[in-house]
């Protein structure tokens, strides 16, 4: 088992505005694990609102590899399953191990999990808070890429303008992601009523993540499905969300990889919740890996690679709004970080 680490910065095609601020790119660390002439790639994506950094991911992965230096694949998987911190670093290692295992066995990750790899859900293209012309450019770009459905970021400030602009530019279906930007049950219900009339199909994280008592009220009265994102990080969160949301947004960076994400889908289903598989501006590595779970999901939001202008990998595309996976190919070589 040989581990290599590749710190890199993904640059966005368009600066990305959400409720947390504006960004031009995202730091990542790519993880490669090699074993018996096979390779598995993983990715830790590190948006600035999360606590992990390239340095912390490199430290964590280096220490993990040192601890398991003389162990095989089974022990790496077992050792990682006990990790409860550094979720992005964990996700990168977990992804790399799943991809390695799939390659060793000549299967897909979906195949290893027994997921029928037939129908993929529609994947949304996210439009950060943007003015009319920028939105026009983004819709044109997304439509040319094959997207058929959009996710509009709202922040409670210019929501009506965003929706008005979008409706002038497109008749496509859309969801909204409020990123905790609304303040009260009354505001949320009034906005949902209005958005339903405008043709919105789903509302993500309307209220601050800990306002679960208020969300219970919203769920009872809402005419649109409401999904948890910031309120739902891990498997252990799901039980308390069943009466507050209609669905959850599962991301590998939040829950530490495919292993827990798969368990989260099962638990969400057992609790009557719908499932969206999302991403945090990952490249092709993160999104193509997460896509393996999407035949079990109601929606996908795996647009990361399509928002980036320097993705080092190729392997995912959108046709008729649905994800299609291709053989993974590295387009840009990145110098490895020497292990500490």
177 binds Mg ion (CB under 5 A): yes
Structure tokens at 130: 């943007």
Find the binding residues for Mg ion in span 192-211 (CB under 5 A). 204
# of chain residues touching Mg ion (CB under 5 A): 3
Query: Alpha-carbon distance 206 to 211, whole Å?
Result: 10
Count CA atoms closer than 13 A to 102's CA, side-chain side.
22
CB of 280 to Mg ion, least distance (A): 9
Is 159 or 177 the residue whose CB approaches Mg ion more closely? 177
| Residues 286, 252 contacting (CB under 8 angstroms) | yes
Residue (204 or 311) nearer to Mg ion, CB: 204
Least separation, in Å, of the C-beta of 63 and Mg ion? 31
Interface with Mg ion by CB under 5 A: which range of 46-54, 154-162, 172-180, 194-202? Answer: 172-180
**Smaller CB separation from Mg ion, 52 or 229:** 229
* Stretch near Mg ion under the rule CB under 5 A, chosen from 42-50, 211-219, 225-233, 259-267: 225-233
| SS3 state at 7 | strand
Q: Tell the burial category of 304 from Cβ atoms under 10 Å away from its Cβ (0-12, 13-18, 19+).
A: buried
Nearest residue to Mg ion on Cβ basis? 229
Closest approach, Cβ 179 to Mg ion, in A, equals: 6
CB of 204 to Mg ion, least distance (A): 5
Q: Closest approach of Cβ 107 to Mg ion, in Å?
A: 31
Binding window for Mg ion (CB under 5 A); candidates: 25-33, 62-70, 175-183, 234-242? 175-183
Question: Least Å distance between CB 278 and Mg ion?
Answer: 6
**Binding span for Mg ion by CB under 5 A among 39-47, 130-138, 221-229, 266-274:** 221-229
CB of 229 to Mg ion, least distance (A): 4
58 or 248, CB closer to Mg ion? 248
- From the list 126, 124, 130, 176, the residue with the least C-alpha distance to 154 is 176
**Nearer to Mg ion by C-beta: 38 or 209?**
209
CA-wise closest residue to 277 among 291, 267, 257? 291
Q: What CA–CA distances, in Å, run from 142 to 12, 104, 150, 153, 302?
A: 14, 35, 9, 15, 13
How many Å apart are CA 271 and CA 240, to the nearest integer? 10
- How far, in Å, CA of 8 to CA of 322, rounded? 28
For residue 262, count CB atoms less than 10 angstroms from its CB and return exposed for 0-12, middle for 13-18, buried for 19 or more.
buried
Task: Tell me the closest approach of the beta carbon of residue 81 to Mg ion, in angstroms.
Answer: 26
Minimum separation from the CB atom of position 27 to Mg ion (A): 19
**What is the number of other CB atoms lying within 10 angstroms of the CB of residue 200?**
20
Question: What element of type H or E holds 32?
Answer: strand 21-35
Which residue in 53, 60, 336, 6 sits closest to 68, CA to CA?
A: 60
Largest pairwise CA distance in the chain:
60
Between 177 and 282, whose beta carbon lies closer to Mg ion? 177
**Residue 322, helix vs strand vs coil:** strand
Task: Specify the stretch interacting with Mg ion by CB under 5 A; choose among 58-66, 154-162, 229-237, 325-333.
Answer: 229-237
Token pair in block for residue 281:
């501006």
Indicate the residue among 206 and 312 with the shorter CB distance to Mg ion. Answer: 206
Name the residue nearer to Mg ion (CB basis): 40 or 278: 278
Q: Segment near Mg ion (CB under 5 A), from 145-153, 176-184, 250-258, 284-292?
A: 176-184
When binding is defined by CB under 5 A, the residue of 43, 229, 237, 311 that contacts Mg ion is: 229
- Report how far residue 258's alpha carbon sits from residue 333's, in angstroms, rounded to the nearest whole number: 26
Span interacting with Mg ion, options 8-16, 173-181, 263-271, 318-326, rule CB under 5 A: 173-181
Residue numbers of the site for Mg ion (CB under 5 A)? 177, 204, 229
């Amino acid at each position: 088992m040989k581990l290599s680490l590749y710190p890199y910065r993904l640059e966005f095609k368009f600066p990305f505005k959400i409720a947390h601020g504006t960004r031009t790119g995202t730091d990542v660390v790519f993880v490669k694990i090699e074993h018996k002439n096979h390779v598995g790639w993983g990715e830790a994506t590190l948006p600035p609102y999360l606590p992990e950094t390239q340095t912390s991911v490199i430290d964590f992965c280096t220490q993990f590899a040192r601890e398991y230096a003389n162990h095989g694949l089974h022990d790496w998987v077992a050792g990682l399953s006990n990790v409860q911190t550094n979720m992005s670093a964990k996700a990168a290692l977990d992804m790399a191990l799943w991809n390695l295992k799939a390659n060793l066995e000549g299967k897909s990750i979906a195949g290893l999990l027994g997921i029928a790899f037939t129908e993929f859900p529609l994947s949304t293209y996210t439009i950060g808070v943007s003015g009319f012309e920028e939105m026009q450019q983004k819709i044109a770009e997304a439509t040319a890429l094959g997207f058929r459905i959009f996710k509009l970021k709202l922040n409670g400030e210019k929501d009506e303008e965003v929706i008005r602009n979008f409706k002038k530019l497109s008749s496509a279906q859309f969801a909204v992601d409020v990123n905790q930007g609304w303040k009260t049950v009354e505001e949320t219900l009034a906005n949902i009523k209005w958005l339903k009339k405008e043709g919105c199909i789903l509302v993500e994280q309307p209220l601050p993540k800990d306002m679960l008592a208020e969300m219970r009220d919203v769920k009872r009265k809402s005419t649109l499905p409401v999904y948890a994102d910031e309120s739902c990080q891990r498997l252990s969160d799901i039980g308390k969300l069943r009466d507050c949301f209609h669905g959850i947004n599962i991301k590998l960076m939040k829950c530490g990889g495919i292993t827990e994400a798969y368990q989260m889908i099962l638990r969400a289903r057992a609790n009557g919740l719908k499932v969206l598989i999302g991403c945090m501006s990952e490249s092709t590595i993160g999104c193509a890996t997460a896509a393996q779970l999407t035949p079990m999901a109601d929606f996908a939001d795996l647009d990361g690679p399509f928002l980036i202008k320097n993705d080092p990998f190729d392997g995912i595309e959108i046709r008729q709004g649905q994800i299609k996976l291709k053989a993974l190919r590295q387009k840009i070589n990145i110098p490895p970080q020497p292990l500490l």
